[in-house]
Amino acid sequence: MIDLHTHSTASDGTDSPARLVEVAARAGITTLAITDHDTTSGWTEAAEAAALYQVGLVRGAEISAIARTTGWGTGVHLLAYLHEPTHPDLLAETERTRADRESRARRMVDLLAEDFPITWEDLLAQTKPGTTLGRPHIADALVAAGVVRDRDEAFATILRPGTRYYVGHYAPDAVAAVRAIRAAGGVPVFAHPGADARGRIVPDSTIEELAAAGLGGLEVDHRDHTPDTRRRLRDIAESLDLLVTGSSDFHGAGKQNVIGENTTEPEVLEAIAGQGALAVLR
């Protein structure tokens, strides 16, 4: 059972990297990818736990990016697997994104504080130092303040794009991000490209453009994709000679997603391993 998309407390998951690996091992996962948003800071702890629990580990990250093919920007997520974590171009972009995610969280908390009992300290109380900040942490602060029941309710109401509290954040251009991931020796896979319930998705032409820039695969099997969307994406992957992955996008207790609920074929993992600069730890 291979699950190539999970989050820890290095970003917006609720399990520490070590606990994430333990949860995966107990669920029968044989190879796990840790893919926190815009950071690799969970890798060392996850690697130690992977050795302890005898789980294969793909070191990765989920890179925030913006696709501009169509004129207006569409936020997209690119999974980067097995890249050199210190490669300057990609690192500069993720550091810029993380810094702006913090400013953005401050702006959102300022706006929310006009109507709800929430402070910056309340948000920090929900995170570890160095965490990539995101709306889920703001949601946790709102839950702690008794404003909403859980992250789902926060996302369905107050934190939705379009509310007066929503603020966007910097992210690199998607074509540039694909190139930066490849330059760092990584394998770029487009995360949940057809997740239209959570926002705008890109047209097929963008996937073609990203493939031309070096995209390695599409995450087809993901809970945010309907059966129709999966069929459509599988066809696109075949026509562009892209790998097909499936993953849980597990966030611990922060989301409904269950670890291992979607999985990736062993041949696809081997293809990713063959293209990446780093080894799969086993």
Chain contacts with Zn ion (rule: CB under 5 A): 12
Give the count of alpha carbons within 13 A of 138, CB side only.
26
Sheet containing strand 2-3, edge to edge, reads 2-3, 31-37, 56-67, 74-81, 187-191, 217-221, 243-246
Alpha-carbon span 100 to 224, nearest angstrom: 27
Alpha carbon distance 58, 80 (integer Å): 10
Tell me how far, at minimum, the Cβ of 212 lies from ligand AMP, in Å.
27
Shortest approach of ligand AMP to residue 279 CB, angstroms?
27
Smallest separation (angstroms) from ligand AMP to the CB of 267 = 28
Q: Is 25 exposed, middle or buried (0-12, 13-18, 19+ CB in 10 A)?
A: middle
By C-beta, is 209 or 249 nearer to Fe ion? 249
Phi, psi of 250 (to 5 degrees): -65, 135
Which of ligand AMP, Zn ion, Fe ion, none has residue 222 at its interface (CB below 5 to 8 Å by kind)?
A: none
Nearer CB in complex with ligand AMP: 93/182: 93
* Residue 136 or 186 with smaller CB distance to ligand AMP: 136
Q: Of 195 and 280, which has the nearer Cβ to ligand AMP?
A: 195
Instruction: Decide if residue 249 touches Fe ion (CB under 5 A).
Output: yes
Question: Which residue carries 């005898």 as its tokens?
Answer: 54
DSSP 8-class letter at 67 = E
Report the DSSP pairing between strands 74-81 and 187-191. Answer: antiparallel
Site residues (vs ligand AMP, CB under 6 A):
12, 134-136, 151-152, 155, 251, 254-255
Q: How far apart are the first and last CA of the chain?
A: 14
- Of residues 182 through 241, those in contact with Fe ion by CB under 5 A are 191
Q: Which residue is nearest to ligand AMP (CB)?
A: 134
Whichever of 3 and 12 has its CB closer to Zn ion, that residue is: 12
225 binds, among Fe ion, ligand AMP, Zn ion, none (CB under 5 to 8 A by kind): none
Which residues contact Fe ion by CB under 5 A? 62, 77, 191, 249
